[in-house]
Amino acid sequence: MAHRIEVEHGTTLFVEDIGSGQPVIFLHGWPVNHRMFEHQMATLPEKGFRFIGVDLRGYGQSDKPAYGYDYDRMADDLRVVIDTLEIKDAVLCGFSMGGAIAIRYMAKHGEKGISRLALLGAAAPVFTQRDDFEFGLPKENVDDLILGAYADRADMLKDFGGLFFGKEPSTHFNSWFHSLGMQAGPHATIESARTLRDADLRGDLQVISVPTAILHGRNDEICPFDLAEQMEAGIANATIIPFEESGHSLFHDEREKFNETIIQFISEPVKS
């Protein structure tokens, strides 16, 4: 089932909703869309879970307004989706930029509708280095992505893909994944990159109280593993699960382990 949900006047999001059982919400990374979770879309409904994939504003089949590409607005969009679909006791899974949005949602909306959080190669708590934060990428690297998006977005995405995958994907998979990035609005790609560069979620971490799994590739060149350690230190009920053979694309590099870990995390009883 597919939904088109109006999150503010004139802006609707596309939401893929497959299966029944406990809902598992997936937030994609920059600059693709919910179809990056192809393997989970196929597997989770077979295992008795409800897959909910959200195309963030500006991406995939969602509307692409001129504004609203900050984490506050995108977290508010998610709240409308959760309220509209009357979702309760969900697992919120955020990948890369989607992980940052998930963290902001949990802090801003009081964990409404969410009982567990999975951060998947998350671009958090701070994506870029600054005077009091030595981890992450240099801000200049993101500036280069923005300039590349203005000049030749298709070529920039090709180069970005060279850093993305820890294990070389097939030619067909690589072409398909590149096409997901080209489905985004160019302005959404640029404005979201500015948010990635500038946002600071360190204050949000301490608010999160639900069980949190941090899945992160040891060889991640986009969101270095140090970021996972910073998230674990800031979230009270968090555990890192390292993916020793993965780059940023842990969902592809170690697909079977990724699916098994997500399903185990969803299924294990909550400790009292």
Please tell me the number of Cα atoms within 13 Å of 234 on its side-chain side: 21
Give yes or no: 248 in active site: yes
d(CA 28, CA 26): 6
Residue whose tokens read 């989607």: 98
Give yes or no: 209 in active site: no
Q: At what angle do helices 186-198 and 97-108 cross, to 10 degrees?
A: 70
Among 28, 34, 216, 248, the one annotated catalytic: 248
**CB-CB neighbours of 30 under 10 Å:** 26
- Closest residue by Cα to residue 145 from 215, 208, 89, 222: 222
Among 204, 220, 249, 253, the one annotated catalytic: 220
Among 34, 55, 96, 192, the one annotated catalytic: 96
User: Which are the contacts of 13, defined by CB distance < 8 A and separation ≥ 6?
Assistant: 4, 5, 7, 54, 55, 56, 57, 62, 63, 77, 81
d(CA 238, CA 236): 6
Cα-flanking dihedrals φ and ψ of residue 266, to 5°?
-65, -40
Q: Which residues belong to the active site?
A: 96, 220, 248
